C-alpha cells in the first residue's frame, strides 16, 4: 500500500512554504516551476486535501497546509536531532541553515560574518533573510534569528552573543545650533529622529538616572520632522545634522570615535539592546546551528576587543 505522505514531501513542502511562491521554490530546489506545481498537485491528490491556495502573484497555506507544515518541520527537526545523537553528522556541520536578521545590522554585521562562516564550513548552505521586525520565535521559519533583546518566550533558546547599548547622539553642528540637552525633558524641545521598528512604543524614549532598584526612569514623548523604519537612514540623517537620535551602539560607534556624532545625555541609561542568537530548542543539537552560533559569539567578542583596543 502506497503511503499518502512520502518522506521527500516533507522537505519539499517546508521549502515551498518558506519560499512563498512556486517560482521562488523552484529556484531554491533547482527545478522548473511546472515541476514544483506537479509535485504539489501529486501531494494533494494522495492526501485528498488542498494544502495551498494559489493565485497569480502569491500563495498561502490552507488550514490543512498549516497543519502539514507544522508537523513536517517538527519531523525534519527530529531527524536532524537523531542524526546528531547517533553521531552521523556531528563531525562536520552541513546542510541548509536559514538565518534571519534585521535590515541594518544584518547588512553591516551579520552578512560579512556569514561570508567568513561559509569559507570555513563549506558544506553548509546559508540563506539570509533581512526583515524590519524579527519574526515571532514560535513561527519556526528560520534556524537562527539574530535579534536585539531576549525574546519573551521560553520555547526557544536565546544565547547572548554580544553586549549592546542604545545611545543618544547628534552631530556637533546640530548641538551647536540648537543647544545641548541637560535633562531628559529637554528632549521635548529638540528635533528627534524617529525609528519605527519592533514592538516598542514609537516616539517614546526611556531614560534612567540609575541602575537596579534605585533607578528612576523617565518616559519622554519625543517629536521631530523625520522618521523611518530603516536604522541606516536614520543614522545618515543624524550625520547630516537634522536632530538627536537614539540608536544601538554597534551602529554608531565608528561615528562616535571619529567625532561625526557626539553623545547626548551620556549620564543617563537607555534600554539595553544586547544581541542574541535565537533558535528553536529542537535545533540545539544540529551541528550547523551550534557551529554558526559559536562562530557569531566568537566573532563579536573579537570585534569588541578590537574596538576597545
What region, left, alpha or beta, does residue 202 occupy, with left being phi > 0 and alpha being psi -120 to 50 degrees?
beta
The three cell numbers locating residue 64: 490543512
Structure confidence by residue, pLDDT tens digits, 228-281 = 988 889 999 999 999 999 998 888 988 999 999 999 999 998 887 889 998 877
Written as nine digits, the cell of 202 is 514609537
Q: Residue 156 pairs with which residues in a beta bridge? A: 280
Q: Are 43 and 51 in contact (CB under 8 A)?
A: yes
Which residue, 79, 85, 77, 89, is CA-closest to 287? Answer: 89
**Average pLDDT over all residues of the chain:** 84
Least confident segment among 195-204, 224-233, 282-291? 195-204
Closest to 134 (Cα-Cα) out of 198, 208, 215, 221: 198
Q: Measuring CA to CA, how many Å separate 215 from each of 27, 183, 207, 266, 270? A: 53, 15, 10, 15, 11
SS (H, E, C) the chain: CCCCCCHHHHHHHHHHHHHCCHHHHHHHHCCCHHHHHHHHHHHHHHHCCCCEEECCCCEEECHHHHHHHHHHHHHHHHHHHHHHHHCCCCCCCCEEEEEEEEHHHHHHHHHHHHHHHHHHCCCEEEEEEEECCCCCHHHCCCCEEEEECCCCCCCEEEEEEECCEEEEEECHHHHHHHCCCCCHHHHHHCCECEECCCCCCCCEEEEECCCHHHCCEEEEECCCCCEECCHHHHHHHHHCCCCEEEEEHHHHHHHHHHCCCEECCCCCECCECCEEEEEEHHHCCCHHHHHHHHHHHHHHHHHHHHHHC
Closest CA to 277 of 119, 120, 117, 121: 117
The more confident residue out of 43 and 77 is 43
Higher-confidence residue of 28 and 90: namely: 28
pTM over 0.85? The answer is no
The string of pLDDT tens digits covering residues 15-63 is: 888 777 888 888 877 788 888 889 999 999 988 999 998 765 678 889 9
Mind listing the pLDDT tens digit for each residue in 91-115?
678 888 889 998 888 988 999 999 9
CA–CA dist 290, 168 (Å, integer): 35
Q: What's the pLDDT at 169?
A: 97
Find all residues with CB under 8 Å of 155, minimum gap 6, and list them.
137, 138, 280, 281
Amino acid at each position: 500500500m502506497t503511503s499518502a505522505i512520502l518522506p521527500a514531501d516533507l522537505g519539499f513542502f517546508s521549502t515551498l512554504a518558506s519560499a512563498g511562491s512556486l517560482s521562488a521554490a523552484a529556484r531554491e530546489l533547482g527545478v522548473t516551476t511546472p515541476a514544483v506545481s506537479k509535485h504539489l498537485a501529486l501531494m494533494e491528490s494522495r492526501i485528498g486535501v488542498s494544502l495551498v491556495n494559489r493565485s497569480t502573484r502569491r500563495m498561502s497555506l490552507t488550514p490543512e497546509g498549516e497543519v502539514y507544515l507544522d508537523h513536517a518541520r517538527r519531523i525534519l527537526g527530529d531527524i536532524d536531532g537523531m542524526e546528531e545523537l547517533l553521531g552521523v553528522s556531528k563531525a562536520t556541520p552541513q546542510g541548509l541553515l536559514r538565518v534571519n536578521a534585521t535590515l541594518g545590522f544584518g547588512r553591516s554585521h551579520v552578512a560579512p560574518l556569514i561570508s567568513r562562516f561559509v569559507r570555513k564550513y563549506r558544506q553548509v548552505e546559508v540563506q539570509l533573510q533581512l526583515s524590519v521586525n524579527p519574526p515571532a520565535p514560535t513561527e519556526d521559519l528560520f534556524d537562527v534569528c539574530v535579534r536585539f533583546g531576549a525574546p519573551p518566550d521560553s520555547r526557544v533558546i536565546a544565547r547572548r552573543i554580544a553586549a549592546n547599548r542604545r545611545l543618544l547622539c547628534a552631530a556637533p553642528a546640530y548641538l551647536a545650533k540648537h543647544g545641548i540637552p541637560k535633562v531628559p525633558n529637554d528632549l521635548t524641545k529638540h528635533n528627534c529622529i524617529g525609528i519605527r521598528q519592533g514592538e516598542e512604543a514609537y516616539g517614546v524614549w526611556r531614560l534612567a538616572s540609575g541602575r537596579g532598584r534605585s533607578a528612576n526612569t523617565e518616559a519622554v514623548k519625543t517629536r521631530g520632522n523625520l522618521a523611518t523604519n530603516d536604522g541606516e537612514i536614520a543614522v545618515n540623517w543624524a550625520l547630516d545634522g537634522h536632530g538627536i537620535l537614539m540608536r544601538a551602539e554597534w551602529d554608531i560607534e565608528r561615528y562616535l570615535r571619529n567625532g561625526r556624532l557626539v553623545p547626548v545625555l551620556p549620564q543617563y541609561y537607555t534600554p539595553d539592546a544586547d544581541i542574541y542568537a535565537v533558535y528553536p530548542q529542537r535545533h540545539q543539537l544540529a551541528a550547523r546551528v551550534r557551529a554558526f552560533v559559536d562562530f557569531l559569539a566568537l566573532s563579536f567578542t573579537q570585534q569588541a576587543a578590537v574596538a576597545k583596543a
